[in-house]
Structure 1
Amino acid sequence: MTKPQRILVFQQKGSGEPKIAGLRKYGEGLYRIDVFSIDEPLPPVLDDTRPYLPEVIEADLVLDYLKHPDLSEDLAKRCAALRIPVVASGKKVKVPGVYIPVTCCGLGRPGRLGLYEERFGAPEVDVVLENGCIQKVVVRRGAPCGATWEAAKKIEGWSVEDAAVRYGLEVQYFCVADPSGWDPLYGKSPVHFAGHMHKRAMAKALERLGVIAEEAESENSEPDRHLCV
């Protein structure tokens, strides 16, 4: 039996709750999740974060859903000193051992994150087809917020021509990233980036079956509704 990976989640005022719920729902019992919450009001600048962070950090992996940049910076440095890897999606922290994808579903497989990276990160899906339509979507890896799995249910019954674009759209409805953010490197908001990642994952799944889905100009455009009957 696989030993559960110890994951310590840091959040502020419930900022990580949707992803904590997703980890527990879709983690298949692979993780022991502990949560450290900071709920009190904080000043814009924290010269000393020690009163707010735990004295001892023990985990195989830390997930940073904190909002205050000073907390994230000092947490990253402490974890680096302890050789504990950190996933801090959307952050600008530049500390060795800290992984900062644009969104949680933009995380690759760096090889240091243990069981977490096997189940969560950039989406990987397989599909079962019947008569040119999506019969079932099997999620092998996805976003910790659960959007990958929830959106997969919504495209069952769609034609292969529309499946990739539709998947990207459905994911945006479930994504919990801040839609007001904008990443100049990718030219997308985090929500649109998530849609793009899932559109690409579906296209790859179809390509493995020898099916090339028609490309739409944008994953934000609504395809005609082609459902199997």
Structure 2
Amino acid sequence: MTIIGVITRGKYGNRLIDTLHQHSDFSVKTASLPARLPDFLDEPEEFVKKLDINPDVFNADTIITYSLHPDITPVIARLAGQAGVSSLIVPGGSSRAPLVELDRISSEYGIYIEVDEVCCTLAEKEETAPYSSVFGLPEFEVSTKSGYISDVRVRKGAPCGSTWKMAEKLIGTKVEDAPAKAGLLIQQYPCRAVRGQLGGIHDSAELHKKAMERALITLSEK
């Protein structure tokens, strides 16, 4: 069985744990970091050691870390590499993850590391499968009846669970309105992506809108 490790920080990562349990058959192991952390750490390895992170989380195939800290994330990456984890996914973008250092760790330990600004941009790829076959860049199959959406089947969805919530609320929507409404519903769901600026939740909304457009095109070609 595939084992997914999730390292949370405060509220970040908890929705992923819920979504993993609800929409996959993966085994899930977790560890937590404090919500509040110093902005800068002179000795991050010692700091992380004192946090007493649950070591069992590193007995996983893929780890998603919501450490969201440029000093702590490399320490977690190194621990994951030493434990033989195949891949590490780092949400939150490059501003919270030192890419050059993570590249060095990746090369040193042979661990695949991906840094994503928004969790639902994760494309399916061999290095992060089977996790990325179920979670990440949204994919749907839709059915229609008399010009309305009658069913939405989520083949792959956002780790926060928003895709499945959106799918439920799209039933009964006019076909021509479905893509725009899909994007709107994602923004109404309490997504953890950054709000109030370009990118973040707006990117997530656009990804779901495009996914619905593709699903409708596929349906029309059958």
SS at match of 1:210: helix
Q: TM-score, normalised by structure 2?
A: 0.82
Q: Name the counterpart of 1:114.
A: 129
Alignment of 1:1-229 (within 5 A): 3=1, 5-27=2-24, 30-39=25-34, 41-46=36-41, 47-48=43-44, 49-52=48-51, 53=53, 57-81=58-82, 82-92=84-94, 93=97, 94=99, 95=102, 96=106, 97-180=112-195, 188-210=198-220
Alpha-carbon distance, 1:181 to partner: 7.1
- C-alpha contact (below 8 Å) 2:93/2:118 kept by paired residues: no
Which residue identity is paired with 2:220? G
SS at match of 2:155: strand
Alpha-carbon distance, 1:54 to partner: 5.2
Task: Give the number of equivalent residue pairs.
Answer: 201
Which residue identity is paired with 1:90? G
Root-mean-square deviation (CA, aligned residues, Å) is: 2.0
Q: Deviations over 1:24-82 (max 9, x none)?
A: 1111xx21111101237432222233333456722111011123321112212332453
SS at match of 1:171: helix
SS at match of 1:43: coil
d(CA) in 2 for partners of 1:20 and 1:102?
19
d(CA) in 1 for partners of 2:130 and 2:117?
21
d(CA) in 1 for partners of 2:93 and 2:204?
16
d(CA) in 2 for partners of 1:85 and 1:31?
15
Alpha-carbon distance, 1:159 to partner: 1.0
d(CA) in 1 for partners of 2:167 and 2:130?
22
d(CA) in 2 for partners of 1:201 and 1:180?
21
d(CA) in 2 for partners of 1:40 and 1:135?
42
- C-alpha contact (below 8 Å) 2:139/2:157 kept by paired residues: yes
Which residue identity is paired with 2:88? V
| Runs of at least 5 residues in structure 2 that lack an aligned partner in the other structure | 107-111
- C-alpha contact (below 8 Å) 1:89/1:104 kept by paired residues: yes
SS at match of 2:163: helix
Q: TM-score, normalised by structure 1?
A: 0.80
Identity score, percent: 28
- C-alpha contact (below 8 Å) 1:8/1:33 kept by paired residues: yes
Which residue identity is paired with 1:84? S
| Runs of at least 5 residues in structure 1 that lack an aligned partner in the other structure | 183-187, 212-229
When structure 1 is superposed on structure 2, of 131-140 and 32-41 the one drifting more is 32-41
- C-alpha contact (below 8 Å) 2:30/2:54 kept by paired residues: no
SS at match of 1:209: helix
Q: Which runs of 4+ in 1 moved over 6 A?
A: none
d(CA) in 1 for partners of 2:75 and 2:3?
21
